[in-house]
Amino acid sequence: MAVVSSTKKYTASAKLNAGTTTTGAQKYKSVIIGTLNPTSATPEKIMNVADLLAPCLDSAMLSVESTEVKVLTRES
C-alpha cells in the first residue's frame, strides 16, 4: 500500500535574543509569525515578513523557523 502525505499545518516563528543565563548560555524566546499557505509561502516571502516585523519586537531577532506538520496515511 502506498503512503500519502498531506500538509496539516505550516507556520513560521521568529527566535529572539532573550539575553544569557548565569553560565553565559544564550537564552531565546519565540514569537509566532503566523500560519502560512504552503503553496505560496516561499523562504524569501517568509523572511520579508520577518524583516518587516523585526523593528516592532522588544528583542533582537536571531533567526526565523518554518515548521510543516504532515499527516501520513496508507491508501487502501
Per-residue model confidence as pLDDT tens digits over 25-58: 999 999 999 999 988 999 999 999 999 999 999 9
Cell of 21: 543565563
Number of domains in the chain: 1
Burial 41-57 (b: 16+ CB within 10 A, else e): beeeebeebbeeeeeee
12 lies in which domain range? 3-19+28-74
Half-sphere exposure in the Cβ direction for 51 (13 Å, CA): 6
Model pTM greater than 0.85? no
In the predicted model, is pLDDT for residue 1 greater than 90? no
Question: In which element (H, E) is residue 12 found?
Answer: strand 3-20
